Amino acid sequence: MKFFDKLKNLPNMKTIALVSQDLKNLIHIFHKNGICEVNEAFDTYIATYLLSPGDQRYDLKSAAYQYLNRMILDDEEMFGKGKKMIKAEDLDEQLLADYMIKNCETIKDLKAVLERELETTEMMTLFKTIEMPLLEVMVSMEELGFKIDLSQLEVLSGEFESKLTSLTSDIYELAETESFNINSPKQLGEVLFEQLKLPIVKKTKTGYSTNIEVLEQLIHFHPIIEKIIEYRMLSKLDSTYGRGLMAFVEPKTQKIYSTFNQTVAATGRLSSSNPNLQNIPVKTEMGRAIRRVFVPSTSDRILVDADYSQIELRVLAHLSGDENLIDAFRKEQDIHTRTASEIFGISLDAVTRTQRGQAKAINFGLIYGKQAFSLGKDLGISRNEAQDYINRYFSRYPKVQAYMDNVKQQVKEEGYVTTIWGRRRYIPEMNSRNAMLVQAGERMALNTPIQGSAADIIKLAMIKVYKRLNAENLKAQLILQVHDELIIDTPKNECAQVEVLIKEEMEGAAQLSVPLTVDVNTGLSWYDVK
């Protein structure tokens, strides 16, 4: 404590430029000890991630070895781990001081090398204008948390468990057996393939495969399959977001405090953990119902939710420069209806719901590098029919095909792809002798510039929204980001102002050849706003 008191009293504390490994963590520690104004200058952790986004190892020991050819001890090697961890008060002060000084020297030397690397790879602007300013925003979101309606969560978990009990009974009855462990692949396999004599789709070393792909192929053979799929889905919902979510609720505040990860996704997307708030299911009503328990922090507040409309397809239009795609967005047409009109050769008002759905699958499928086989599987049509749809799509959007061909050629020649803001992702799979790895590399190469650019845009939007809320002295607070969506916990009397503010800042976050469009909604729960 004396250390932080002395630090606080430094006359130039507010202007000291902090250089650290994992600055976000350090800022949290400073905040807990009463130091609120922190001047973040350089994070070696984030810089290492930007330079090698596919490595997954950005700790100080790995970075020192990679960039300085220096061997250092990490915390666990120095002090032990788990139950063997030595208490801070028992440590030899001189040993600890020497260790910290060596680490500080390593961080200082590492900064110099990483700065040169960021300049060489043309990512210094990305680092300074997006990644570093984002730290303050993420710290704020993590410290604010998201309020949970505990009584509603308990009711929801009870509903999950009641439904699971009912499903269990149905499954036993359909299996014509008193009981078995539905969660055991071995026992389930014996029931399905030995007792009920269903067709064997796939075998494993230990017995029969009962994964979701196998179950989906068996769904028309016996009514038990649909019940098992529903049971698994509900069981996961309850363990993760029913009873599972309760474990993360802080009793005093009745909030959950998720961690936002800046250095996990190779595309640049943020991720969320403990708990993961970016993976709440939305395809089923029971999955969507989970969002009912996420509520404003007080009764005089409301949630303002804003999300980008089809941001990845807008980024594709910008990157490809395809006139037809750009025209659709500039005219504010429904892009899936427009695509259906183009590939089926019919007027916009003649497009059926089925045709729009097929066009939507093609629009998003091509972003993720899908070929005719997987697209056909998604649409329930033959590979040849799917290929015909793809051919028609590219005939109407020729510059999209040219762009995709150029991306694949670029990564073969240079070994990496970039986003609009210069974020790099290296894709060594493209030069593999393994055809499957090459195909996976192509999918990554096509998806990364699009998803990565969209990620950069939402990060810029977060920074702009956060700064403007502070600049206008509003009490509204940004509390969550889910890919292309932002949620602000807002006093009801600020609601109208925040709705305008968030729309302006998100739509103005980047200047593309097509407009960015944001949908804004309000409600008394996350469910209501969606």
Return the number of other C-beta atoms located less than 10 Å from residue 33's C-beta: 14
Cβ neighbors of 377 (< 8 A, separation 6 or more) are: none
Q: 173 and 296 in one domain?
A: no
- Per-residue pLDDT averaged across 256-271, rounded? 94
**CATH number for the domain harbouring residue 164:** 1.20.1060.10
Q: Give the integer Cα–Cα distance in Å for 20 and 60.
A: 10
Final residue belonging to a domain, choices 400, 426, 451? 451
Measuring CA to CA, which residue among 259, 231, 202 is closest to residue 480? 259
Instruction: Report angle CA 429, 454, 484 to the nearest 5 degrees.
Output: 120
Final residue belonging to a domain, choices 435, 451, 467? 451
- Per-residue pLDDT averaged across 121-133, rounded? 97
Task: Tell me whether residue 235 is in a domain.
Answer: yes
Q: Can you tell me which residue has the tokens 């998003």?
A: 364
Residue-by-residue DSSP string for 84-153 = GPPPGGGS-HHHHHHHHHHHHHHHHHHHHHHHHHHHHTT-HHHIIIIIHHHHHHHHHHHHH-EEE-HHHH
**What pLDDT does 331 receive?**
93
pLDDT reading at 2 higher than 80: no
Residues of the chain with pLDDT > 70, as a percent, come to 95
Return the number of other C-beta atoms located less than 10 Å from residue 97's C-beta: 11
Can you read off the two tokens belonging to residue 109?
């030397």
| H, E, C per residue of 332-349 | CCCHHHHHHHHHHCCCHH
pLDDT tier at 269, thresholds 50, 70, 90? very high
Least confident of 30-44, 179-193, 248-262, 461-475: 30-44
- Per-residue pLDDT averaged across 308-319, rounded? 96
**CATH number for the domain harbouring residue 112:** 3.30.420.10
Residues of the chain with pLDDT > 90, as a percent, come to 63
Can you read off the two tokens belonging to residue 101?
């000084």
pTM (2 decimals)?
0.90
Q: 162 and 119 in one domain?
A: no
The strand order across the sheet containing 249-250 reads: 249-250, 255-256, 146-148, 294-295
**What pLDDT does 527 receive?**
94
pLDDT reading at 170 higher than 60: yes
Task: Tell me whether residue 261 is in a domain.
Answer: no
Q: Cα dist. 323→179, 212, 371, 454, 517 in Å? A: 61, 41, 24, 20, 19
pLDDT reading at 90 higher than 80: no
Q: 400 and 335 in one domain?
A: yes
Q: 361 and 476 in one domain?
A: no
Q: 156 and 93 in one domain?
A: no
Least confident of 73-87, 326-340, 461-475, 483-497: 73-87
pLDDT (tens digit per residue) in 11-59: 777 778 888 999 999 899 888 888 877 777 899 999 999 999 988 889 8
Strand-pairing partners, residue 491, are 301
Cβ neighbors of 278 (< 8 A, separation 6 or more) are: 270, 271, 272, 482, 483
Q: 46 and 80 in one domain?
A: yes
Q: Cα dist. 317→398, 416, 447 in Å? A: 12, 21, 14
Q: Give the integer Cα–Cα distance in Å for 125 and 395.
A: 37
Q: Can you tell me which residue has the tokens 């970016």?
A: 278
Least confident of 194-203, 247-256, 334-343, 507-516: 194-203
The total domain count for the chain is: 4
**What pLDDT does 273 receive?**
94
Final residue belonging to a domain, choices 389, 419, 451? 451
Q: Give the integer Cα–Cα distance in Å for 51 and 82.
A: 31
pLDDT (tens digit per residue) in 463-517: 999 999 999 999 999 999 998 999 999 999 999 999 999 999 999 999 999 999 9
- Per-residue pLDDT averaged across 120-138, rounded? 96
Task: Tell me whether residue 276 is in a domain.
Answer: no
Phi, then psi, of 255 in degrees rounded to 5: -120, 160
Phi, then psi, of 207 in degrees rounded to 5: 155, -130
pLDDT (tens digit per residue) in 202-246: 888 778 888 888 898 888 899 999 999 999 999 988 898 888 899
pLDDT tier at 93, thresholds 50, 70, 90? low
- How much helix, strand and coil, in percent to the nearest 5, is found in the chain? 60, 10, 30
**What pLDDT does 404 receive?**
93
Q: Give the integer Cα–Cα distance in Å for 52 and 37.
A: 31
Q: Are 263 and 274 in contact (CB under 8 A)?
A: no
**CATH number for the domain harbouring residue 409:** 1.10.150.20
Q: Give the integer Cα–Cα distance in Å for 153 and 294.
A: 9
pLDDT reading at 188 higher than 80: yes
Phi, then psi, of 408 in degrees rounded to 5: -65, -35
Please classify residue 66 by burial: count the beta carbons closer than 10 Å to its beta carbon, then call 0-12 exposed, 13-18 middle and 19+ buried. middle
Least confident of 184-188, 403-407, 451-455: 184-188
pLDDT reading at 80 higher than 70: no
**What pLDDT does 84 receive?**
45
Q: 468 and 395 in one domain?
A: no
Q: 444 and 334 in one domain?
A: yes
Q: Give the integer Cα–Cα distance in Å for 325 and 398.
A: 10
Q: 102 and 87 in one domain?
A: yes
Task: Tell me whether residue 279 is in a domain.
Answer: no
Residue-by-residue DSSP string for 46-89 = HHHHHH-TT----SHHHHHHHHH------HHHHH--GGGPPPGG
DSSP 221: T
**What pLDDT does 421 receive?**
97
Task: Tell me whether residue 280 is in a domain.
Answer: no
Taking only Cα atoms into account, the Rg of the chain, rounded to an integer number of angstroms, comes to 26
Higher pLDDT, 524 or 71: 524
Q: 467 and 424 in one domain?
A: no
Three-state SS for 280?
A: coil
Q: Give the integer Cα–Cα distance in Å for 337 and 362.
A: 12
Task: Tell me whether residue 269 is in a domain.
Answer: no
Helix axes 398-414, 383-396, angle to 10 degrees: 100
- Per-residue pLDDT averaged across 395-414, rounded? 93
Q: 136 and 87 in one domain?
A: yes
pLDDT (tens digit per residue) in 280-306: 888 788 888 899 999 999 999 999 999
Q: Give the integer Cα–Cα distance in Å for 423 and 444.
A: 14
**What pLDDT does 200 receive?**
87
Q: 345 and 229 in one domain?
A: no
**What pLDDT does 104 receive?**
87
Task: Tell me whether residue 382 is in a domain.
Answer: yes
pLDDT tier at 86, thresholds 50, 70, 90? very low
Phi, then psi, of 480 in degrees rounded to 5: -155, 145
Task: Tell me whether residue 447 is in a domain.
Answer: yes
Query: Which residues constitute the domain of residue 244?
Result: 147-256
DSSP 430: G
**What pLDDT does 286 receive?**
81
Least confident of 10-14, 253-257, 357-361: 10-14
